[in-house]
Amino acid sequence: MTTAGPARLNRDIGRRIVPLFRPYRVQVAVVVGLIMVTSTIGIINPLLIEAVFNKALFVPGGPNIRLLVILVTIMAIVPIVNGAIGILQTYQTTRVGQLVMRDLRDRLYSHLQTLSLAFFTGTKTGEIQSRLANDVGGVQSVVTTAASTILANIVIFASTVVAMIILSWQLTIVALVTVPVFFWLTRLVGERRRRVARSTQESLAAMSALSEETLSVSGVLLAKVFGNQARDTARYHEENQRQAGLQVRQQMIGQGFFTIVQVFLSITPAAVYLVAGLLLTRGTGISAGTVVAFTTLQTRLYFPIGQLLQVSVELRSSLALFDRIFEYLDVVPDIVDAPDAVDLPAIGSGGRVAVREVFFHYPGAPQDALKGISFEADPGQLVALVGPSGAGKTTISYLIPRLYDVTGGSVRIDGADVRDVRQSSLAAAIGFVTQESYLFHDSILANIQYGRPGASRADVEQAAREAYIHDRIMEFPDGYDTIVGERGYRLSGGEKQRLAIARVLLHDPRILILDEATSALDTASEREVQKALDSLMGSRTTIAIAHRLSTIVNADVINVIDGGRVVESGTHRSLLRDGGLYSSLYQEQFDGGKVQWRCPDGDVMADGTVRHRQPQAGITGAG
Ligand SMILES: Nc1ncnc2c1ncn2[C@@H]1O[C@H](COP(=O)(O)OP(=O)(O)OP(=O)(O)O)[C@@H](O)[C@H]1O
């Protein structure tokens, strides 16, 4: 790292931090005014000391009590007034700082919301959360106090130097000689601390990511079934150890530095006494009052330097954090509304989806995931996508709601290229049932309402009825107010799926994308889910990544995907007749049509009966 590098970085980041305060110009101006007042008032008392000594206390003929009382009264009032203004200033500073922090957190969160799925698949969740929480938290003290501390101390420093010169320019030179040494030290220590701070923060993020991954339900489950707890614990310990070491280093760099500062602070007044003595022997008239006033002022000279150094160390450490925050803010969202984007026409009967010669390449992947896919789904049609694992079915489903942009060809809805349509309008028109039924740690009501915020209780219940989950919900003591954790409190896999279906029913999209879960449900749950799905599909245009026989057989068109291409297309009957890939998949997966759906406890047969396998302990119930 060259020395010019960090300096330029600091300036660039500085240029980006200042605009954060722009909306609060007026408040900032008030704070600046208050700081100027409080920081200058402080020199009044030391200057009065000279007068107290020379004009009131030690005067020929005894102390001048009248003058002394006046001076002492002023000396008593000054700190009271100053304290009051100080409180006001602290309040204003903290308030502005917190408003800026609020804006920064909001900006980062809303920016992250605009980023595409690709960003999140490529970044650890814990890492993102760490930047939002730890890094923004880390710059908080700087934003709330650094600027005001710097300004206050510069004013204190400058006003003190002026007052000192008024008292004695010779002594001022002695007092100021050490200042450049301090500044040199600051730069040195600040730079080191900044580097350690960045490593500390990276290590914190790594720890968050690790605990987030391994202490989630799925993570714990995985570790337990593979017996990897000890390995995970060792990984955590290693990072934790690094973190502890870095924290000690960070703390010690500051400490050693401040000890040196303390030594300087103690030595310099002694030097002043010495020089004052030398000046007196040469006949330069320096009064006792001047020396006392001067040494009192001196603490005001070094105190701000100490403070400035401390803030500058903190500031430099925080610049590393700002760096990390701006790094995220600088990620340009790759999927944004076109400037002339339009809303899809709100016609209930629409919903024609046309996928035309679509190519798609995942960033960094060796080859295209989709290689010229074309198919259509007319309003109300059920189009099934089937094919072996890794064929590209999920990728196709992501392109329709524009979670990714095609790299060639186009996806059109009712004639409009999805890239020309507002994303909010696309989201309103399309419903997505993913394999994993993700529920928030909130009430059942809130989870279903997520499909249409503000929907009435009656609408929610109607959706739940259509998803065949209402009766089950009513069995809970808290009914719709039951909290479903990430663990899915009292909810089986099938129930969670039906809740997710109710959520989409409430959303009421004209196009439905259905990624049928392959997760193992027992036969009873499976039939309930099937009924819920039937009512969800209804008369919507449905594109289903189908794993159920009924979905496939009922499809108006089945597209068989293999290696990123549509290799066969037609109805169930015509494809069976052709005897191609579809026909062999059909034999393999559905036993030539006898099996509708395979479950751990048995198979749901195409005629609706259940063929049970021998009972297996522990599999029935929650899926
Ligand atoms: N985020 C990603 N980055 C890079 N490559 C990916 C990504 N997601 C999927 N792929 C690759 O793209 C190809 C198509 O994957 P896709 O998930 O669409 O298949 P699929 O037919 O849905 O499979 P399955 O039925 O197993 O879910 C695969 O080779 C896969 O490895």
The reported pLDDT for the residue numbered 617 is 42
Distance CA 527, CA 550 (A): 11
How is the chain split into domains, by residue range? 15-198+251-329, 353-438+508-612
Residue pair 142/314 in contact (Cβ under 8 Å)? The answer is yes
This complex has an ipTM of 0.95
508 with 472: CB under 8 angstroms?
Answer: no
Residue whose CA is at the smallest distance from ligand 1 atom 14: 392
The DSSP 8-state label assigned to residue 536 in this structure reads H
Can you give the pLDDT at residue 621? 34
Determine the pLDDT at residue 303.
75
* Per-residue confidence (pLDDT) for residue 521, from 0 to 100: 65
* Atom number of ligand 1 nearest to Cα 398: 18
Strands 541-545 and 557-562: what pairing? unpaired
What is residue 619's predicted lDDT score, i.e. its pLDDT? 34
Q: Render pLDDT for 587-623 as a digit per residue (tens, 0 to 9).
A: 887 777 777 767 667 777 777 777 776 554 433 333 2
CB of 546 within 6 A of ligand 1: the answer is: no
Nearest CA, atom 26, ligand 1: 389
- Which DSSP string corresponds to 598-619? EETTEEEETTS-EEEPSP-TTT
Measured between alpha carbons, how far is 109 from 450 in angstroms, rounded to an integer?
19
Give the pLDDT score at 349. 66
Cβ(547) to ligand 1 under 6 A? no
b/e map of 3-35 (b: 16 or more CB within 10 Å)?
eeebeebbeebeeebeebbeebeeebebbbebb
CATH top class, domain 353-438+508-612? alpha beta
Cα–Cα distance for residue pair 188/208, rounded to 1 Å: 31
Residue 153 burial (CB count, 10 A) = 22
Q: Is the CB of 367 under 6 A from ligand 1?
A: no
- pLDDT of 301: 76
**What pLDDT sits at residue 5?**
47
CA 97 to ligand 1 center in whole angstroms = 46
- 390 C-alpha to ligand 1 centroid (Å): 5
As its CATH architecture, domain 15-198+251-329 has Up-down Bundle (1.20)
For the chain, list residues with pLDDT below 50.
1-6, 616-623
- For ligand 1, what atom is nearest to the CA of residue 387? 21
Asked whether 362 lines ligand 1 (CB < 6 A), one says: yes
Do the beta carbons of residue 601 and residue 615 sit within 8 Å? yes
